[in-house]
Amino acid sequence: MAIVDEDLERLKASLVLSDVVQQYVALRRVGRNWVGLCPFHAERTGSFNVRDETGRYKCFGCDASGDVFKFVMDVEHVDFVTAAENLAVRAGIELRHTTGDAGDRQRARRRQLVAAMAGAVDWYHDRLLNSPDAREARDYLRKRGLAGETARTFKLGWAPDDWDALCTALGVAADLLRDTGLGFTNKAGRMQDAFRARVMFPIFTENNDAVAFGGRILPGSTDPAKYKNSSETAIYAKSKTLYGLNWAKNDIVTADQVVVCEGYTDVIGFHRAGVKRAVATCGTALTEDHVRLLKRYATQVVLAFDADAAGQGAAQRFYEWEERYQVRVSVARFPQGKDPGDLSVSDPDALADAVHHALPFLGFRLNRVLNARQLRSPEDRAQVAGEAMAVINEHPNLEVRKLYAAQAATHTGLPPGDLVALAERRAKAPVVRVAPPRRVGSAENAEFVAIAMLLQRWDDIAPWLVEDLFATDVARRAFVAISQAGPDIDKALELADPEARELIERASVIDVDAEPVIEARNLIAAAVRRRLAQGVSTDDAERLRAAREARLALEDIETPDRADASAEALLGWLEGAGRAGEGDA
């Protein structure tokens, strides 16, 4: 499809470049040029120049340049035809296309449908802001933190509990009401509103065309359908539309990251919390068309919904999309039982934290499996390892599978080679068999191994160990003696009490085949879990926040590139929590 050249020239002649640019960029006059901050890269000193005489712009910082069509294409992330049509609407010029009368009629019909939807958006919005019958809706939105400026920004509306209030007020043809899904013909042969007694969330395309609605009932309603969404129409396809993309796309491009939510209020919650790169699927799962659309704006996709459930049966598609579109899919982690809409009111900072600490999709699903149960026996370790490998082997990349297999081996205490071999074979239902561990006595556990390594490889493990890591009294006392003596075993034996001395003697001669830092991380993780299990006072917001950060770091300790930083953070938290506990006592 192309636009008639004569119409393009007429459109270009009618536009003043600086007028168009100033809808996006603050410009000031400098001589015969206009100058401002470039919209295509971050800068503090304006190097973006616009010259109306030539109809060209040029940035001397990033070399972006072009005419009015190129500017709109790049700033709106649209193709040439869409850019020209958007400019034509602003200029009041009708464009003809070279595909003939049928194409022209189709585009004219689309404009009619979009105009009808835009009229409905304005009518519902005005009803919410000004109508007495919307008072209950305004109270509900106020309690959810969605009133005032938020309601205006997102054009929220109210559909009254009337039969045909919208159909009558819009004054458009019945076929437009039916074809947009705004109304339908009832049994009496009259047009009836499709949405009644609902808070309305208008849905726009990325180019700000109104195409659909989501309507939510108020609390106490007897309607069994909490949400009602527009059906698909000539202007609305759920699999190709993302709620909020029109508001979020500039921030998405700047951050090279998009946050994908489940619902409208989740998107608004992220925006209210300052994370203005959130969008939502419209009552459907994430599709390839969605990913293809998002790829135009960013290479990082953060899922802000139950990705573990989404991964069941869909993981292979996620991995294929990562490879095909060169995007990276990760998962935001929220405090248990909380969703973005709730957190935007109770703890907005937690939303940014959840996105910042997002885990790769496979890493997130693997952590769910590894942390699902305690490893009390060899059978537990074998079963968890098998479940972990089933998740890992969904990934098509061998090197990725081998890396995560080694992580699963570290967690379960199994030989890495065994699990890496399963990753290489990519068995769909891997079975892991494990022999009972060798024992030297009842005290040979993780704490005993750490004591042994402290005696035999002081420099490798000593920086990672503190007294709070040892839950067993004897091991704790042995650690205190060794830490006071340094790597001098004889001195440690002199300082230790009889029970601790016996443990030190055994640990000094045992043959331990383990990685010091990994053993230390395991102790740190165990100590953090014990401390978290004790609970934190809900009256102390600072401690609650610190505990939440500790839970996030606890998950990161299993991720190779984040493990050391997480272990350091958790050690600091343990010491801080210990001091706080002493103060409470």
Q: What is the CATH number of the domain that holds 28?
A: 3.90.580.10
Enclosing domain of residue 320:
240-363
pTM comes to 0.65
Model confidence pLDDT, tens digit, residues 193-250: 999 999 999 999 988 899 999 999 999 888 888 999 999 999 999 988 999 999 998 8
User: What is the pLDDT confidence band of residue 372, given thresholds at 50, 70 and 90?
Assistant: confident
Question: 526 and 451 in one domain?
Answer: yes
Average pLDDT over residues 507-535: 79
The token duo for 407 is 């992580």
Question: Are residues 257 and 200 located together in one domain of the fold?
Answer: no
- Provide the CATH number for the domain around residue 120: 3.90.980.10
Q: Are residues 450 and 580 in the same domain?
A: yes
Query: Which single residue is written with the structure tokens 């030539």?
Result: 54
What pLDDT score was predicted for residue 138?
Answer: 96
171 and 215 share one domain: yes
pLDDT digits (tens, 9 = 90+) for 518-531: 888 888 888 888 88
Confidence of residue 568 (pLDDT cuts 50, 70, 90): confident
Partners of 337 in the β-ladder: none
pLDDT at position 440: 38
501 and 481 share a domain?
yes
What's the confidence (pLDDT) of residue 99? 62
Domain identity same for 30 and 126: no
Query: Do 223 and 318 fall into the same domain?
Result: no
What pLDDT shows up at residue 584? Answer: 46
Q: How many structural domains compose the chain?
A: 5
Strand 227-229 to 210-216 pairing: antiparallel
End position of a domain, from candidates 217, 235, 253: 235
How does pLDDT run across 312-329, given as a tens digit for each residue? 556 788 898 988 888 999
Secondary structure class of 461 (helix, strand, coil): helix
Residues 451 and 577 in one domain: yes
Q: Which two tokens stand for residue 325?
A: 């579109």
Q: Does residue 80 belong to any structural domain of this protein?
A: yes
Looking at the predicted structure, is the pLDDT value of residue 435 above 70? no
Q: What is the pLDDT of residue 337?
A: 63
Give yes or no for residue 499 having a pLDDT over 80. Answer: yes
Q: 302 and 338 share a domain?
A: yes
Give, in degrees to the nearest 5, the angle at Cα 221 between 220 and 224.
120
Higher pLDDT, 439 or 16: 16
Q: In this predicted structure, what is the pLDDT of residue 325? A: 84
Report the distance separating Cα 17 and Cα 424, nearest Å: 58
Q: What percent of the chain has pLDDT over 90?
A: 37
Q: Does residue 172 share a domain with residue 135?
A: yes
- Which own/partner contact pairs does 172-175 have at CB distance under 8 Å and 24+ positions apart? 172/116, 172/119
Helix (H, G, I), strand (E, B), or coil: what is residue 306?
Answer: coil
The mean pLDDT of the chain is 86
pLDDT tens-digit readout, 391-428:
999 999 999 999 999 888 878 878 888 899 999 999 87
φ, ψ at 436 (rounded to 5°):
-60, 145
* Residue that finishes a domain, picked among 91, 109, 137: 91
CB burial string 239-270: b at 16+ within 10 A, e below: eebbbbbbbbbbbbbbbebbbbbbbbbbbbbb
In a domain, 435, yes or no: no
User: How many whole angstroms separate alpha carbon 180 and alpha carbon 564?
Assistant: 55
Is 528 inside a domain boundary?
yes
pLDDT of residue 545: 80
- Among the three residues 331, 363, 395, which one is the final residue of a domain in this structure? 363
Q: Is it the case that residue 70 has pLDDT exceeding 50?
A: yes
Question: Same domain for 78 and 133?
Answer: no
Same domain, 465 and 556: yes
Q: pLDDT (tens digit, 9 = 90+) per residue, 253-273?
A: 889 899 999 889 999 999 999
Q: In the prediction, which pLDDT does 442 show? A: 33
